[in-house]
Amino acid sequence: MGKASRSRAFLLAFAAVGSLGGCLSARPQCELATPCAADAACVAGACRSPEALPGRDAERVAFAPVAAASPDRVADSSAVVRLTDGGKLLLRFAVPDWGTRRLVAAYLVVCRVRVAASMPAGAAAGPVLYAERIGDEWEPETVTYANQPRTFTTSAPPVRLEDAADCARLDVRDVLLRWPRRDRSDQGIAVVQRGPAPLDVALARVATSGAAHAPVVPGPRLELYLAPR
């Protein structure tokens, strides 16, 4: 059976969420389990000293996507999508205009669901994730391999999701800086996976089992760091 016939598009409705406790970062981490030291703050996912803060008054606001789709097949549940090499996850967000505030940083956080079948023994280095701008209008119900919007690369570097990491933070500030223009060529953010082994990505909160990883895997979220001008 070909990929096109196996494809399944899906629509997820999410509610925007307010400021979330903690941040995720490869190094150093500052999630709730490993908070920053008393004299440091968690900004853009990293523990920073007061002298190193780019914006001491930056406010962190997080949003869940209002729609998601992928031409890749859904894995064991509708809350998980399995991205093959070159696979794309399309995400749409409803982000209000931040007005006179300054966008210090913006990150898209995606987390994987550890499924044994998608992580073969002896696999090469972890998958590389790219955040791309979606340039065409799209509807989740109609996305297939043959019918998917064009995506465009940005200046942000890709992120390798190492085996020990559960989540990746993709720099999407360049994409969000375009959004206040309300350009019709800005239709969301695509996550592109490059790697020989498939990657299972959580689209909503997913309960897992086993002591080797978190019991609950969160869905994607868009983090904005806004500061007064």
Instruction: Return the domain boundaries, the chain.
Output: 3-227
DSSP string, 110-150: EEB---GGGS-TT--SPPEEEEEEE-S---GGG--SSS---
Would you state the pLDDT for residue 106? 96
Q: Which residues of the chain have pLDDT under 50?
A: 1-33, 75, 121, 211
Q: What is the pLDDT of residues 66-121, one digit of tens each?
A: 999 998 866 456 788 999 999 999 999 999 999 899 999 999 999 998 865 555 54
Q: Identify whether the C-beta of residue 216 lies closer than 8 Å to the C-beta of residue 207.
A: yes
* Whole-number Å distance between alpha carbons of 153 and 142: 23
* Whole-number Å distance between alpha carbons of 40 and 61: 19
Q: Identify whether the C-beta of residue 19 lies closer than 8 Å to the C-beta of residue 226.
A: no
- In a 10 Å sphere around its CB, with 0-12 CB exposed, 13-18 middle and 19+ buried, how is residue 142 labelled? exposed
pTM of structure: 0.73
Would you state the pLDDT for residue 181? 86
